[in-house]
Amino acid sequence: MSEFKGRVRDILHTEVVRESSLSGGCVGDVRLLTLDDGRKLVAKIGSGTAPGLALEGFMLEFLSKNSRLPVPAVLFADDHLLLMDFISGGETMTAAAEEDAAHHIAALHDISAATFGFSRDTLIGGLLQQNTRESSWLTFFRDHRLMYMGRQARDAGRLPAETLRRLETLCSQLDKWLAEPAAPSLLHGDLWTGNILVGRATISGFVDPAIYYGDPEIELAFTTLFGTFSEPFFRRYADLRGLTPGFFEERCDIYNLYPLLVHARLFGGSYVSSIERTLQRFGV
């Protein structure tokens, strides 16, 4: 018996009878387990010195306890192992599924807090996500999203110093394009196709969160970056919560600088070019 299977047995008091690899996850090896009592679980096995699986488990449990967003139940979490209920998915994202997603995300965004940020730092793509609490969204977005991740990318040798300087110039002028939202909203934080499990005409679950309280527009913007959602989602979301004019025309590109900086920090390459095109578009 492998050490891994033995540990699962000790935690759950049942045997693993089958396992197979699953795709996805930035912080560990992901496996589908079948137990001798018939249950199916997902296991993430940490790799590296700071895998962050305990934090991922915390974020899933926070969403489960504080929202109605469908997420997998966490059975066990520490820095090296995360065990969760298996949620089936893999169906095609239809218009009906997009509308269902809009209901889930609008309800999540209705959950508020006194400040932007979170009670602790979280993770996005395996990277530390700084969540220092701020009363101003523009201050939070400037200091703890754009400039923080820009410096991380620069220190990793993935972002040129001149691009970071241009980013700083944009950050000094954010109030030209952005305004303070009415209130902080609870965000999933990493809302793209790979983190959304699609059932038949509905969303069966959301995984790999990167939670904090922020302007919901940053979450909506991210869904446009890799084509996660389209017109049916945004039409239904607008019916439920509204969309302020100018989002698609200007603010979407500014908010997508953050996930682009995350990807630049992780991968460099074309993501840096995308950042530079956005900066040029806004005159810096």
Active site residues: 190
In single-letter form, the type of residue at position 199 comes to G
Residue pair 208/202 in contact (Cβ under 8 Å)? The answer is no
CA distance 253 to 222: 9
Measured CA distances, 127 to 81, 100, 158, 221, 265 (Å): 18, 30, 14, 20, 9
Measured CA distances, 2 to 8, 16, 60 (Å): 10, 10, 27
Residue pair 266/127 in contact (Cβ under 8 Å)? The answer is yes
DSSP SS3 for 245: coil
Between CA 187 and CA 191, with CA 188 as vertex, the angle to 5 degrees is: 120
DSSP SS3 for 79: coil
Residue pair 263/226 in contact (Cβ under 8 Å)? The answer is no
Neighbours of 127 (CB within 10 A): 20
Residue pair 150/169 in contact (Cβ under 8 Å)? The answer is no
